[in-house]
Amino acid sequence: MTGTPPLILILCTGNSCRSHLAEGIVRAAIGNGFRIASAGSKPAGYVHPLAIKVMAEIGIDISGHHSKHLQEFLTEPVETVITVCGNADQACPVFPGQVNRHHFPFDDPAHATGTEEEQLAVFRRVRDEIRAVFGAYAAGRLDGRGAGG
């Protein structure tokens, strides 16, 4: 062990919405004892502006995030992989050092249609669902710090 905090990698297909929502929520909830990152199997190349907006509403800034390919992490010791959509779960490789794997699927708010306000309602719903699941996950990790995930 190098003394580097364990890496929790959150995967989605496009790495534009759900994985960034989850990354921001986990990072805010878990503090400095872990490294938190997100990536995608087919990255969109951007973070969705409405994802940034709904996270700002709860005091979490993800405006500095960027869309990444999961291949960037293939040589890193990833302790936990969490997929947030079915495609990423199916496409997920095994990472070196990977101890834990979880699958928490959520609707993709990027597919929301209608007015911006109607789309924001979908983003807020998914954000709140992710906050409930990942808030509980983070609390569990903090309670059992060396117990895995």
Per-residue pLDDT tens over the stretch 42-65: 999 999 999 999 999 999 999 999
In a domain, 148, yes or no: no
In a domain, 114, yes or no: yes
pLDDT digits (tens, 9 = 90+) for 59-109: 999 999 999 999 999 888 899 999 998 665 566 666 767 688 898 999 999
pTM above 0.95, yes or no: no
Cβ–Cβ under 8 Å, residues 37 and 73: yes
In a domain, 2, yes or no: no
In a domain, 18, yes or no: yes
Examine the residue annotation and report whether 85 is marked as an active-site residue of this protein.
yes
In a domain, 104, yes or no: yes
List, as one string, the DSSP characters of 18-84.
HHHHHHHHHHHHHGGGSEEEEEESS--SS--HHHHHHHHTTT---TT----BGGGGTTS-EEEEEE-
Q: Which of 92, 122, 130, 133 is catalytic?
A: 92
Q: Residue 8 is inside which H or E element, if any?
A: strand 7-12
The number of distinct structural domains making up the chain is 1
CA distance 121 to 100: 32
- Has residue 147 got a pLDDT over 50? no
Q: Which of 10, 52, 85, 138 is catalytic?
A: 85
Q: pLDDT confidence of 35, banded at 50, 70, 90?
A: very high
Domain residues for 67?
7-143
In a domain, 149, yes or no: no
Examine the residue annotation and report whether 92 is marked as an active-site residue of this protein.
yes
Examine the residue annotation and report whether 12 is marked as an active-site residue of this protein.
yes
Question: Which CATH number fits the domain that encloses residue 102?
Answer: 3.40.50.2300
In a domain, 98, yes or no: yes
